[in-house]
Structure 1
């Protein structure tokens, strides 16, 4: 196996581990906590943990596709923070602040604008 194939396999395995557990925590938080059996059930905390695990997994996959590290990390941030924002919206009935969704959403928007700017900069170069 070549070094590149070994590295790609390692990244894919790491991404899969983050994505499997992240999607599980995000979409089936009670089942996930029952399996983990580490802390008392907290739906919102588990949604947030899942969002960030999905973001890490997505970032690993983006790293295989794009060579531009700034683009990779911004895209990973958008995935993680976008899901985080969504979890605050969906879980608004169990706590948080009325400013959470718009505040978090602004950062997602800032990152999306930065992605567009980065792509335009690369095309212009």
Structure 2
């Protein structure tokens, strides 16, 4: 059983990384203007947003699912999925032809692990 202060603090931490992560991922120019960082790198900003969103989802999942590995994997799957998507949408900027398939494969492995955890819990 978690105490109310721990739950509230965890939700505040999750909200902070989710707000900035969503902002960086979906409005990278505005985010970089706000943080006053130069030079602007769209893909790097997308990646930073993806990982912040994954951390936020991991924190929220940890509150909802009493399984530390499951919560960590949920955060990983979200971050890795968004990271894969940013490599796909930013492929015109650079990167390698193997980025999307390799990143996508690790995302799928994370999904498989979550499904296996859920099946084990259901059994």
Task: Give TM-score scaled by structure 2 length.
Answer: 0.96
Q: Which residue of 2 aligns with 1:58?
A: 57
Q: Give matches, 1:69-80, under 5 Å.
A: 69-80=68-79
1:24 equivalent in structure 2: 23
| Corresponding residue number in structure 2 for 1:6 | 5
Match of 2:117?
118
1:97: Cα distance to partner?
A: 0.4
Aligned residues between the structures: 122
Q: How far apart, CA to CA, are the structure 2 residues paired with 1:88 and 1:27?
A: 14
Q: Quick one: distance in 2 between partners of 1:55 and 1:61? A: 10
Measure the CA separation in 1 of the matches of 2:56 and 2:115: 22
Superposed CA offset, 1:30-73 (max 9, x none): 11001101331000000000000000011110011000111111
Q: Which runs of 5+ in 1 are unaligned?
A: none
Q: How does the TM-score come out when normalised to structure 1?
A: 0.95
Q: Give structure 2 stretches of 5+ with no counterpart.
A: none
RMSD across aligned positions (CA):
0.9
